[in-house]
Amino acid sequence: MLMTPGPTEVPPSVRERMSEPMPNPDVDPAFRELYFDVTDKLATVYGTDDDVVVMGGEGILGLEAAVASLVNEGDEVLCLSNGLYGAGFADFVETYGGEPTTVEVPPTELLDAEDVTEALAGESYDVATMVHCETPTGTLNDLDEILGVLDDAGVLTVVDAVSSLGGAEVPDEGVDVCCGASQKCFSAPPGLTTLSVSDDAWAATQEGDAPSFYAHLGPWDGVVHDDAQFPYTQLPANVAALDEALDLLLDEGLANVRERHADVADYCRERARDLGLSPFPDEDAYCSPTVTALEVPGRARQLQERLADEHDVVLATGLGPYEDDVLRVGHMGYGADREKVERTMDALAAALDD
């Protein structure tokens, strides 16, 4: 049983939809209709009136494309970080010639609007980047106030919502590019990245020389606004799978989906504490409804192997410095299910007793 924080287990109807005969995305109008049906449904999930683009590539493509599209040579970029992916934005910024300034807080804390206000004092930034759900440590940042501060300062914003979109409400006010992915809370196969794009972001994509073709939003402007051809061959089976996954989510209702995620997250952390384990971070208000990170110092890989070999339950370890100290339960999308989480925690209890 796959209980990782992405890729997740794929529901049967999504697998079946992916196996159907597919239109040629280069010449068949049926694919174009499908594509824009999907972007309309994604806009509902995002809760946005902005345009939505689906690009062929895993979620990291969206993060890179957001930076490549908004950051020009010499631009000053404020990178907000309380974890691996927040810090990773600075690498993308440097790759595309920007000048990153990282405002960092410990991974057990949340990003703070006061820190952003202080960073802006006497400084001018073109773009700011941040992460909604830091999957490696299970943290969910409250970004609304931060986005308001940045909007007032005229700073373009990029939000990584890859591991929260579809399982938690994502911020929409003051966001210029918000990145998602097919393989997380949507429980479709890996292979697609989703981006909501504001009017200001579209304008920024036309500034400077595009440093990339594939990882850039510029070629998509005509697709969205002028009925232009897709810039490259799309992935029709993946788009169809995402369409089916979105139908499952929307048929259930967004409020019900979010409540389901919150309920199983609470149950998972309650069971963990009963086993003597502490969530990382330990404050429930800081924890994501889509993933629980548990502190197991020096035991993560051993427990991961035991759970897979003896109980047929696949979890993820931490990343980077927490690789052997954090064990992660992904209760997102199709895995946000009480029975699945109960089986997972029963298996973890047995593995801890061995």
pLDDT tens-digit readout, 253-300: 999 999 999 999 999 999 999 999 999 988 999 999 999 999 999 999
Pairwise CA distance, residues 83 & 86, whole Å: 5
> Which run of H or of E encompasses 84?
helix 84-95
Pairwise CA distance, residues 323 & 317, whole Å: 6
pLDDT tens-digit readout, 197-217: 999 999 999 987 888 999 999
Nearest Cα residue to 97 out of 137, 126, 56: 126
**What does the domain layout of the chain look like in residue ranges?**
12-250, 254-353
How many Cα atoms occupy the beta-carbon half-sphere of 207 within 13 Å? 15
pLDDT over 80 at 354, yes or no: no
Residue 255, burial from CB neighbour count under 10 angstroms (0-12, 13-18, 19+): exposed
State in Å, rounded, how far the first CA of the chain is from the last one.
20
User: What percentage of the chain carries pLDDT values higher than 70?
Assistant: 100
pLDDT tens-digit readout, 305-353: 999 999 999 999 999 999 999 999 999 999 999 999 999 999 999 999 8
How many Cα atoms occupy the beta-carbon half-sphere of 242 within 13 Å? 31
Region 15-44: mean pLDDT is: 97
Q: Count CB atoms within 10 A of the CB of residue 187.
A: 26
Q: How many residues does the chain have?
A: 354
DSSP, collapsed to helix, strand or coil, labels residue 330 as: strand
Residue with tokens 């499908």: 34
Task: State the pLDDT at residue 128.
Answer: 98
Task: State the pLDDT at residue 352.
Answer: 94
pLDDT tens-digit readout, 37-61: 999 999 999 999 999 999 999 999 9
Do 232 and 214 touch, CB atoms closer than 8 A? yes
Q: Which two tokens stand for residue 25?
A: 């995305």
Assign domain 254-353 to a CATH class.
alpha beta
Task: State the pLDDT at residue 339.
Answer: 98
pTM confidence score: 0.96
User: What percentage of the chain carries pLDDT values higher than 90?
Assistant: 95
What is the overall mean pLDDT for the chain? 97
Q: Which two tokens stand for residue 339?
A: 């029975």
> Which run of H or of E encompasses 197?
strand 192-197
Does this chain's domain 12-250 share its CATH topology with 254-353? no
Task: State the pLDDT at residue 136.
Answer: 95
In CATH, what is the architecture of 12-250?
3-Layer(aba) Sandwich (3.40)
Do 71 and 126 touch, CB atoms closer than 8 A? yes
DSSP, collapsed to helix, strand or coil, labels residue 306 as: helix
Region 8-35: mean pLDDT is: 97
Hey, which residues does 76 pair with through a beta bridge? 99
